[in-house]
Amino acid sequence: MPGIDECLLQAMVVPGARGASVVDWTSGLALGTVGEAPGGDHEATAAETAELARMAAEYPSFATDETPAPDGTKGLPVEDLIVTTRTGYHVVRFVETTFDSSVFLHLWLDRDTGNLALARLRLADLAERLILG
Amino acid sequence: MTAAATPVSPMLVRLAEERATGVLVRDHGALYLADGHVVHAESPAAPGLDVLLTAGGQLAPEGWQEAVASAGARREVARFLVDSGQVTGGALEICHLGALHDAAFFTLAPGSGPTRFRYGVAHWIGTVRPVPAAAVVREARRRRGLLDSVWPHPEVDTAPLRRRAPGHGATATRRQRALLELADGVRTPSAIARAVGRPAFNTLIEVRRMAAAGLVETPSEPAAPTPAPLPDWVAGFPADPDIALLRRLRDALEASL
């Protein structure tokens, strides 16, 4: 059955991908990881990224947009979070679920070989397929 | 990484090393091992996978009952849910891992009585996504540290949740508001977790954050510990695992009547 592992393996196919994970941002739990982690420790990276994601997802400045999209769908208020560093990109995509959850997909990219726009689109697609199958 | 010298860890590490299959039972829950990996966990303090899946309407309660009835005896309930198209593999893994680490957190609580292990017992949920035993121990320890770093007052975990009068300046987040709406001074965080279909630990961490922000009260007296007892079918170590399944089915049927 396709699940977390397949989703992560497909994330690693994105050009420039160095590491990927599925994380619960309330608890900081890494549900699944693949490839490298910035400090060599996936669990520590998950806990730190979770803190950042929680603030983006919950602080009123970002999470107030309750307006339905033009096609009538009402998705998550915050879709993704992008951090650029001197040597890399981090793309965090929030996963929308039909059950109560707080999950995101995190992709770490090499700055030279990664393409931020492409990575963001691919990650959005993967996040949707992780839940819808 | 090695596990810390908490009383349960050496036993779990040894069981993992010998690739044991069976169930580890403590006062607050049970861990199911297969080939040394943790494949499932249950605790009266943590909502089960059925609650997480059905509370938000992802799965109809009838769908869960049908899966247990059809595939429980051959221990493939998880596979049945996915194969019958009721839950996707990804959604099931996310919910199951959440439930597993949640129940493991309570099961591995320091100083919660004796630890027993019965070899050969498998859980009827089947295999979803096995987790190395060392990772489960490490995560439980991290969670304990995280709770105390947010607000070092464990008494808020078990006391009925009470809102504080507004006017302290702090605003509840979207996910905290869902918990506050159920804070009637009677329901405990554990009961609220069950009602909203969220892991108990995720509820506790929000409760500690709200207590730290002054949104809910922190009881001055430590709440009397009233650990929910394990069901007899786990604590009693039934000789035949199928009897455990039948009892579980009976309980589920009675609960649904």
Dihedral (CA of B35, B31, B201, B178) sign: positive
pLDDT exceeds cutoff 90 at B124: yes
* Range in A64-68, B189-193, B199-203 the model is least confident about: A64-68
Does B139 map to a domain?
no
> Which of B212, B234, B251 is the last residue in one of the domains?
B212
The pLDDT of residue A113 is 98
B95·A101 Cβ contact <8 A: yes
Task: Please answer whether residues B56 and B47 qualify as being in contact, where contact means their C-beta atoms are separated by less than 8 angstroms.
Answer: no
Of B90, B139, B199, the CB nearest to A130: B90
B102 plus B32 within the same structural domain = yes
B91·A99 Cβ contact <8 A: yes
B93 plus B155 within the same structural domain = no
pLDDT exceeds cutoff 80 at B6: no
pLDDT exceeds cutoff 90 at B169: no
> Which of B101, B133, B165 is the last residue in one of the domains?
B133
Full residue range of the structural domain in which residue B49 is found = 8-133
Q: Is B228 left (phi over 0), alpha (psi -120 to 50) or beta?
A: beta
**CA proximity to B238, closest of B223, B248, B252:** B248
Does B1 map to a domain?
no
B197 plus B116 within the same structural domain = no
The pLDDT of residue B9 is 76
The pLDDT of residue B4 is 42
Does B39 map to a domain?
yes
Q: Which of A25, A26, A55, A58 to mutate to probe the B interface, most B CBs <10 Å?
A: A26
DSSP three-state, residue B107: helix
Partners of A32 in beta bridges: A22
pLDDT exceeds cutoff 90 at B222: no
Does B254 map to a domain?
no
The predicted-structure confidence for B103-121, as pLDDT tens digits, reads as follows: 999 999 987 678 999 999 9
pLDDT exceeds cutoff 80 at B193: yes
Does B156 map to a domain?
yes
Task: Please answer whether residues B192 and B182 qualify as being in contact, where contact means their C-beta atoms are separated by less than 8 angstroms.
Answer: yes
B89·A47 Cβ contact <8 A: no
> Which of B106, B133, B160 is the last residue in one of the domains?
B133
The predicted-structure confidence for B28-86, as pLDDT tens digits, reads as follows: 999 999 999 999 999 999 999 999 999 988 899 999 999 999 999 999 999 999 999 99
Residues 6 or more apart in contact with residue A27 via CB below 8 angstroms: A50, B101, B143, B146, B199, B201, B202, B205
Return the domain boundaries, chain A.
4-132
B125 plus B204 within the same structural domain = no
DSSP assignment of chain A: ---HHHHHHHHTTSTTEEEEEEEETTTTEEEEEEE--TTS-HHHHHHHHHHHHHHHHHSTTTTT--PPPTTS----S--EEEEE-SSEEEEEEEEP-SSS--EEEEEEEETTT--HHHHHHHHHHHHHHHHH-
Local confidence band at B122 (pLDDT 50, 70, 90 cut-offs): very high
Dihedral over alpha carbons A101, B107, B145, A81 (to 10 degrees): -20
The pLDDT of residue B5 is 42
Does B36 map to a domain?
yes
Task: Please answer whether residues A27 and B205 qualify as being in contact, where contact means their C-beta atoms are separated by less than 8 angstroms.
Answer: yes
The pLDDT of residue B40 is 98
**Environment class of residue A112 by beta-carbon count within 10 Å: exposed (0-12), middle (13-18) or buried (19+)?**
exposed
| pLDDT-above-90 percentage for chain B | 72
How far apart CA B25 and CA B114 sit, in angstroms, is: 8
The pLDDT of residue B48 is 96
How far apart CA B179 and CA B175 sit, in angstroms, is: 7
Provide the CATH topology of domain A4-132.
Beta-Lactamase (3.30.450)
Number of domains making up chain B: 2
Kindly list the residues from chain A whose CB atom is less than 8 angstroms away from the CB atom of residue B95: 99, 101
pLDDT exceeds cutoff 60 at B239: no
| pLDDT-above-90 percentage for chain A | 80
| Touching B: A residues 14-53, CB under 8 Å | 22, 24, 26-29, 31-32, 43, 47
pLDDT exceeds cutoff 90 at B225: no
A47·B142 Cβ contact <8 A: yes
Mean of pLDDT over chain B: 88
B43 plus B115 within the same structural domain = yes
How far apart CA B201 and CA B189 sit, in angstroms, is: 9
Does B169 map to a domain?
yes
Local confidence band at B256 (pLDDT 50, 70, 90 cut-offs): low
* Range in A77-86, A88-97, A119-128, B218-227 the model is least confident about: B218-227
How far apart CA A23 and CA A92 sit, in angstroms, is: 10
**Run of H or E including B94:** helix B89-107
CA gyration radius, chain A? 14
Kindly list the residues from chain A whose CB atom is less than 8 angstroms away from the CB atom of residue B89: 1-3, 133
Does B239 map to a domain?
no
How far apart CA A76 and CA B107 sit, in angstroms, is: 34
- As for the ipTM of the complex, it is 0.93
Of A4, A98, A130, the CB nearest to B58: A98
| Touching B: A residues 105-124, CB under 8 Å | none
Question: How many Å lie between the alpha carbon of A27 and the closest alpha carbon of chain B?
Answer: 6
